[in-house]
Amino acid sequence: MGDIPAVGLSSWKASPGKVTEAVKVAIDAGYWHFDCAYFYHNEREVGAGIRCKIKEGAVRREDLFIATKLWCTCHKKSLAKTACRRSLKALKLNYLDLYLIHWPMGFKPPHPEWIMSCSELSFCLSHPGVDLPLDESNMVIPGDTDFLDTWEAMEDLVIIGLVKNIGVSNFNHEQLERLLNKPGLRFKPLTNQIECHPYLPQKNLISFCQSRDVSVTAYRPLGGLCEGVDLIDDPVIQRIAKEHGKSSAQIVIRFQIQRNVIVIPGSITPSHIKENIQVFDFELTQYDMDNILSLDRNLQLATFPITKNHKDYPFHIEY
């Protein structure tokens, strides 16, 4: 799995007021891997939690694995470094362990004022179209970039020492193949971060990535609602949880670990944060694994519908 710790804490949908405390609880519980993104607008709070624990001596920076993501409006080569430095500044770090292209799609770049504005959150709140530039029919306005060019800018960030590893997120197998076959590729993507849970097990995409020596990181691993049933309440998951004396969340996290998939559940609840990493003291049987895989509903929760008209929309093909 490269150097990425098997379980991390995602800061997606974690409200800024709660995420600092969540990060501190997570470090105390043994988490080393933290997954952020510019688009979540809480990097500053994640950084505050990390800094607090380093100051206390609870953890050293070099023990941690911090990932964040380049947003779609900054795919232009000239903007990638600005965006990376901005994330580093918000996190108050001098390097990232992993920087990901958040989506393969580049959007219309932001107004020059955004580039100059020092507090990106306040600017985005007063200019809501900055992150998601929309046309009159409320579809995203594409940029004129190609993710192969964006990748070159990502590689430059490794060369200058701002990031240790680079990767991608939400790439389908054709997009990943195109990147891996890029002439003059200097660094391979370390991981492809994708939505993955028992209702969307992603067998084909995982086997493709792993066959190309690209690890897979599962976001939204606890799934969501399918026909009114929450994955966590699925009777199959509940039965397996009962048999092992574990929670449903621990079962679906362990399921990914046994597939050699890195997993980043998100929570701001201390008891859940602690529980989600207590998954190394039991093993699912092959029968359990097969039963969980049979829950496949092809349920994609993160479909990003306003981007469906984009030439690089990743979900028009099967995987």
Low-confidence ranges of the chain (pLDDT < 70): 1-2, 112-128
Q: To which H or E segment does residue 31 belong?
A: none
- Residue range 9-307 in CATH 3.20.20.100: yes
How far is the C-alpha of 290 from the C-alpha of 288, rounded, in Å?
Answer: 6
How far is the C-alpha of 31 from the C-alpha of 309, rounded, in Å?
Answer: 39
Q: Is 319 a catalytic residue?
A: no
How far is the C-alpha of 57 from the C-alpha of 270, rounded, in Å?
Answer: 21
pLDDT reported for residue 252: 98
pLDDT reported for residue 1: 40
pLDDT reported for residue 120: 56
Annotated binding site for substrate: 102
pLDDT reported for residue 127: 60
Domain range list for the chain:
9-307
Say what the pTM is: 0.95
pLDDT reported for residue 15: 78
How far is the C-alpha of 151 from the C-alpha of 148, rounded, in Å?
Answer: 5
Annotated binding site: 102
Whether 315 and 172 have beta carbons less than 8 Å apart is answered as yes
Residues in the chain: 319
**Catalytic annotation, pick one of 31, 38, 40, 99:** 40
Q: Cα dist. 211→206, 216, 234 in Å?
A: 8, 11, 31
- Virtual torsion, Cα 161, 165, 170, 172, nearest 10 deg: 120
pLDDT reported for residue 245: 98
pLDDT reported for residue 121: 53
